[in-house]
Amino acid sequence: MREERYGAYTSRSPPIDVGSTYKVKIEGVGREGDGIAKINGFVVFVPGAKVGEELEIKISKITRRVGFGEKID
């Protein structure tokens, strides 16, 4: 089974919505120290998250290439 990917060359809109919640696993850490998760191949930065954490996030902002989420307590 091939994972659906979202990339710079796709013309479709991001697979997430502002205000929506998602369960994610943090797969890496960005330059600024934010956790990185992927939702259908779309990168989402989560401040304060650590690699390996599985958590629920709420999407706060979306750009063409990435999204930003906040941990839900």
CATH number of the structural domain spanning residue 41? 2.40.50.140
How far apart, in whole angstroms, are the C-alpha atoms of residue 25 and residue 13? Answer: 22
Instruction: Assess contact for 54 and 25: CB atoms under 8 A.
Output: yes
Q: Tell me what pLDDT residue 5 has.
A: 59
The number of folded domains in the chain is 1
Q: Look up the pTM and report it.
A: 0.84
Taking only the tens place, the pLDDT of each residue in 26-62 is 999 999 999 999 999 999 999 999 999 999 999 999 9
Task: Compute φ and ψ for 65, nearest 5 degrees.
Answer: -110, -25
Domain around 31: 1-73
Segment 56-72 shows an average pLDDT of 97
Instruction: Assess contact for 24 and 16: CB atoms under 8 A.
Output: no
